[in-house]
Structure formats: structure tokens, C-alpha cells
């Protein structure tokens, strides 16, 4: 489930590991099917041992931990993965631990709290669908970065129109295509289209420039606000931040998982659910008519 807001929250939650050096990398004891880790953990340790972490970044829905030797650890949480520093939900689904130590002299700048000179970066994954890859800088660019569309936090109406406009795909399905725009998943695609007043079934090549402008604006509004609320923790409780706290944007959802409820904006329609590309889509049939935003809509 983690989408851009959740992954961005994970990245911000582990920023404190910047400047630390790797002491050890190990797979934890787990009786479940192992996750995909490439190369093998022993080789990862050989490459990263004593290497300093330069910074933590994000690439679409992936966490990047960048090292001084020009390698990057690429962690893709996928459905149920979490990148954490402490208090994992349980040890049963803990998949990987990276022991870190503050570099010499760095300790003086750290509060004298137990364990602050040492940290542990953990990857927890209930369903085991997440992946971890260690890539050199050139491979990161050729194997991953070049295959993704622009980040959803940077995409503009013009970029949307150029990248999506000639396609016959339904707009909701197209928003999930990471080669077109990186970071948007099922929850936020539905929320973006609702705020923009665009029918999720509309074909991309039928969307007007005015609608693209609304979609671009809604993308920024929804994603930035969701980041401020540290993402959405759904009813299954799986998503947690880096210290095992819940996100709270789920309380702000306008349409997602609200089937049958009255629309909070037009107050005329009831939220409907349909399946697109094997994923649930939620929308208001009044606010999001195919011919554009309904004239009776109140200003957001």
C-alpha cells in the first residue's frame, strides 16, 4: 500500500541515520518466505561495511539510502513493507537489520540518550512482497530512474497533458502507471480525481487542458497534505511510520473506502465503487461527471 506520502514519511523518519557508518547487515530469523534481496546479504555487507551514509532520499515509491562509495540501497515496500528505526510491529515479519554507528566525533552532536551513538535500520514486511536492491550509481540511473516518470510532487499540467493526453487509457488507471508519473497509487489517485472533479473513467485523450490543470493542482494539494499527516493507516493497521506510529490522513479521505456514503462536497451524490485495472476506485457520480465538474460544486 505505501504510496508517495507514506514512503516520504518513512524517508523523513529515518533521516537521522545520515552520517552514520554501516557496522553490520543481516537477515533476521524469519520462517516465512524470504523477500527478494539483491545481491545476497553477505555481498551487501562486503560493499557497505564502514561506509558512511550520505543522505536518505526517495524515488517514486522507493526509499533510497545513499552511501559515500556511490552505492544506493533501494528499498521498495510494495504492499506491506515498512522502513523503521525502532519498535517494529512484531519480530515475526522482520526481514533485514542494518546496524549503524555514529562516525568519530559525530557523537558529540547527538543528545546523550541511550543508544544514540548506535542505530538500527530495519525492514519489516508482513506479506513479504517488498524488495531490497543495492545498486551502483550508474545502475541506479539505467535500471530504475530512467524507467520512471516524473515525481508526482513535481509534475505540472503541461507535463500531464504531454505524457497522458494522447492515450486512450482511463485516467485513473493511467495515474497508477509509474512510467508516466511516479509515486501515485490507488488511494491517492481516487482522492486526486475527486478533488479535481474528473470522472475516473474518462479516457486520457478526452481530458481538457482545464481538467489537466485541476488534476495537477489536486495532485500537489492531496500529496502535500497527506505528507503533513504522515500518510494513511488503513483499517488493517499495517502502515506505520519509522517509529511505529500511525499516519492520520485516512481521516481526511473524501472518497476512498467510503462506498455508499453521502458526498461531502456536493451533498447530492453517494460515493460509488467500481473496479478498474483490478483495483477498487471510489468516486462521486455527481461531482465527477464525464463532461466535467458539476456546476453546483462548492469551492474547495
Same domain for 122 and 229? no
Assess whether pLDDT exceeds 60 at residue 295: no
Number of domains in the chain: 2
Burial (CB < 10 A; 0-12, 13-18, 19+), residue 190, is buried
CA proximity to 101, closest of 119, 83, 121, 123: 119
Residue-wise pLDDT for 274-286, tens only, equals 999 999 999 999 9
- Asked if 163 and 178 count as a contact pair (C-beta separation under 8 A), the reply is no
Assess whether pLDDT exceeds 80 at residue 83: yes
Structure confidence at residue 33 (pLDDT): 84
Q: Give the Cα separation of 99 and 121 in Å (integer).
A: 7
- Asked if 75 and 83 count as a contact pair (C-beta separation under 8 A), the reply is yes
For range 129-141, the mean pLDDT? 95
C-alpha count within 13 angstroms, C-beta hemisphere, residue 251? 6
* Boundary residue ending a domain (147, 173, 193): 147
Domain that holds residue 101: 4-147
Residue-wise pLDDT for 224-240, tens only, equals 999 999 999 998 889 99
Assess whether pLDDT exceeds 80 at residue 264: yes
Q: Give the Cα separation of 196 and 103 in Å (integer).
A: 48
Structure confidence at residue 22 (pLDDT): 98
Residue-wise pLDDT for 12-66, tens only, equals 999 999 999 999 999 998 888 889 999 999 999 999 999 999 999 999 999 999 9
Q: Which three cell numbers stand for residue 217?
A: 493542482
* Boundary residue ending a domain (147, 173, 190): 147
Q: Give the Cα separation of 87 and 91 in Å (integer).
A: 9
Active site (catalytic) residues: 2-3, 61, 279
Same domain for 55 and 104? yes
Question: Global pTM?
Answer: 0.92
In DSSP notation, 247-262 reads P-GGGG-SSTT-TTSB
- Position with higher pLDDT, 114 vs 46: 46
Q: Give the Cα separation of 8 and 151 in Å (integer).
A: 12
Helices (H), the chain: 4-13, 41-48, 137-143, 157-164, 171-175, 186-196, 209-228
Same domain for 128 and 162? no
Structure confidence at residue 105 (pLDDT): 59
Assess whether pLDDT exceeds 50 at residue 108: no
* Boundary residue ending a domain (119, 147, 175): 147
Assess whether pLDDT exceeds 90 at residue 75: yes
In a domain, 74, yes or no: yes
Q: Give the Cα separation of 54 and 175 in Å (integer).
A: 32
* Average pLDDT for the chain: 92
Same domain for 190 and 272? yes
Q: What share of the chain is helix, strand, coil (3-state, %, to 5)?
A: 30, 25, 45
Amino acid at each position: 500500500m505505501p504510496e508517495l506520502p507514506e514512503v516520504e514519511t518513512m524517508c523523513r523518519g529515518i533521516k537521522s541515520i545520515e552520517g552514520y557508518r554501516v557496522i553490520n547487515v543481516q537477515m533476521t530469523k524469519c520462517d516465512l518466505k524470504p523477500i527478494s534481496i539483491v545481491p545476497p546479504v553477505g555481498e551487501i555487507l562486503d560493499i557497505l561495511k564502514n561506509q558512511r551514509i550520505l543522505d536518505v532520499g526517495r524515488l517514486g515509491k522507493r526509499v533510497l539510502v545513499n552511501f559515500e562509495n556511490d552505492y544506493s540501497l533501494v528499498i521498495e515496500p510494495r504492499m506491506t513493507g515498512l522502513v523503521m528505526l525502532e519498535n517494529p510491529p512484531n519480530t515475526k515479519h522482520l526481514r533485514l537489520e542494518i546496524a549503524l554507528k555514529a562516525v568519530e566525533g559525530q557523537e558529540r552532536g547527538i543528545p546523550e540518550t541511550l543508544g544514540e551513538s548506535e542505530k538500527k535500520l530495519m525492514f519489516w514486511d508482513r506479506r513479504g512482497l517488498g524488495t531490497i536492491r543495492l545498486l551502483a550509481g550508474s545502475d541506479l540511473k539505467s535500471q530504475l530512474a530512467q524507467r520512471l516518470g516524473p515525481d508526482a510532487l513535481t509534475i505540472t499540467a503541461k507535463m500531464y497533458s504531454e505524457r497522458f493526453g494522447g492515450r486512450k487509457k482511463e485516467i485513473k488507471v493511467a495515474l497508477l502507471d509509474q512510467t508516466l508519473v511516479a509515486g501515485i497509487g490507488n488511494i491517492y489517485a481516487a482522492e486526486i480525481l475527486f478533488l479535481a472533479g474528473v470522472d475516473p473513467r474518462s479516457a486520457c485523450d478526452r481530458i481538457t487542458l482545464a481538467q489537466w490543470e485541476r488534476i495537477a493542482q489536486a495532485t500537489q494539494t492531496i500529496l502535500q497534505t497527506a505528507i503533513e499527516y504522515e500518510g494513511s493507516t488503513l483499517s488493517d493497521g499495517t502502515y506505520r511510520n519509522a517509529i511505529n506510529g500511525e499516519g492520520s490522513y485516512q481521516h481526511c479521505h473524501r472518497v476512498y473506502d467510503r462506498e455508499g456514503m453521502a458526498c461531502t462536497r456536493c451533498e447530492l451524490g453517494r460515493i460509488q465503487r467500481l473496479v478498474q485495472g483490478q483495483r477498487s476506485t471510489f468516486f462521486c457520480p455527481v461531482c465527477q461527471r464525464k463532461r466535467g465538474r458539476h456546476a453546483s460544486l462548492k469551492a474547495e
